[in-house]
């Protein structure tokens, strides 16, 4: 690798969201301001348990979730944001990035969250944008089979998207629930779909007041190698 590698991606969304029971009614652009305040103490415990994190080197001042930026420099790849709002935990970590070939950190971290918190609804998204867009979407609903969808132009879906929506009480006609329509041939999993499972919190609203804790972390050698393979170009 050259001594001055560049970030290979123009934009990304990398997020795991945990919703613990009792499940709150979905938030929207109006009700999001009434979400519980962020808990920095709990956020410290969450980041310390992540398999993508070796140690926490520094804790920065909390910042608005809407201001979390896309990594643009190498140093940005070592910052993890965690939001803890009542029964909701959300993790944003560049180590979760992949392109369909390199890195399995998203699946491994998602599976670890499911194993540790089987009672929670857990969703994950990896969207990496450059000249084209790669997306991976994962979802766990207690008592239901795991859902996975990934691809570039087309998606390869495993699991039953409609079954998960019915399990959380979503009916036909809801934005993001097109897979419940009888005339829908191929289900498409995206942020609207995950919002239905994650109380609306995969969306970031322009006027929201959600805060997150930000941590500079160190990585193990294998996690660092996976990050570099996905993110950096000569």
pLDDT at 20 over 70: yes
Task: Write b or e for each residue in 96-112: b if 16 or more Cβ atoms lie within 10 A of its Cβ, otherwise e.
Answer: bbbbeeebebbbbbbbe
Separation between Cα atoms, residue 176 and residue 170, nearest integer Å = 10
Helical packing angle, 221-231 and 105-116, nearest 10°: 130
The pTM of this model reads 0.92
Instruction: Return mean pLDDT, the chain.
Output: 90
Per-residue confidence (pLDDT) for residue 179, from 0 to 100: 79
Assess contact for 150 and 157: CB atoms under 8 A: no
Per-residue confidence (pLDDT) for residue 1, from 0 to 100: 47
Beta-carbon-side half-sphere exposure of residue 76 (alpha carbons within 13 Å): 16
Nearest-10 Cα torsion for 228, 232, 233, 234:
-70
Distances (CA, A) of 17 to 26, 38, 59, 125, 138: 13, 14, 21, 9, 10
Distances (CA, A) of 87 to 55, 83, 140: 25, 11, 16
Per-residue confidence (pLDDT) for residue 52, from 0 to 100: 95
Task: Map residue 49 onto helix, strand or coil.
Answer: coil
Give the Cα-Cα-Cα angle 165, 32, 194 (nearest 5 degrees). 25
Structure-block tokens of residue 173: 């006609």
Q: pLDDT tens for residues 144-198?
A: 999 999 998 888 889 888 899 989 888 787 777 777 776 556 677 888 888 899 9
pLDDT at 4 over 80: no
């Amino acid at each position: 690798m050259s001594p001055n590698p560049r970030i290979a991606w123009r934009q990304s969304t990398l997020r795991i969201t945990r919703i613990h029971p009792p499940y709150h009614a979905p938030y929207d652009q109006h009700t999001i301001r009434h979400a519980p305040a962020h808990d920095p103490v709990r956020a410290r415990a969450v980041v310390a348990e992540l398999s993508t994190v070796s140690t926490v080197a520094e804790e920065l001042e909390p910042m608005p979730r809407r201001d979390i930026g896309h990594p643009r420099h190498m140093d940005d790849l070592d910052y993890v944001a965690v939001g803890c709002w009542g029964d909701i935990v959300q993790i944003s970590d560049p180590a979760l990035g992949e392109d369909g070939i390199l890195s399995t950190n998203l699946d491994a971290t998602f599976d670890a969250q499911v194993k540790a918190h089987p009672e929670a609804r857990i969703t994950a998204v990896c969207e990496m944008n450059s000249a084209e867009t790669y997306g991976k979407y994962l979802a766990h609903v207690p008592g239901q089979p795991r859902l996975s969808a990934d691809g570039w132009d087309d998606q390869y879906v495993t699991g039953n998207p409609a079954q998960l929506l019915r399990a959380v009480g979503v009916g036909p006609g809801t934005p993001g629930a097109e897979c419940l329509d009888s005339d829908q041939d191929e289900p498409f999993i995206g942020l609207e779909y995950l919002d239905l499972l994650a109380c609306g919190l995969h969306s970031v609203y322009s006027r929201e007041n959600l805060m997150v804790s930000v941590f500079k972390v160190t990585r193990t050698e294998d996690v660092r190698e996976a990050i570099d393979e996905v993110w950096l170009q000569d």
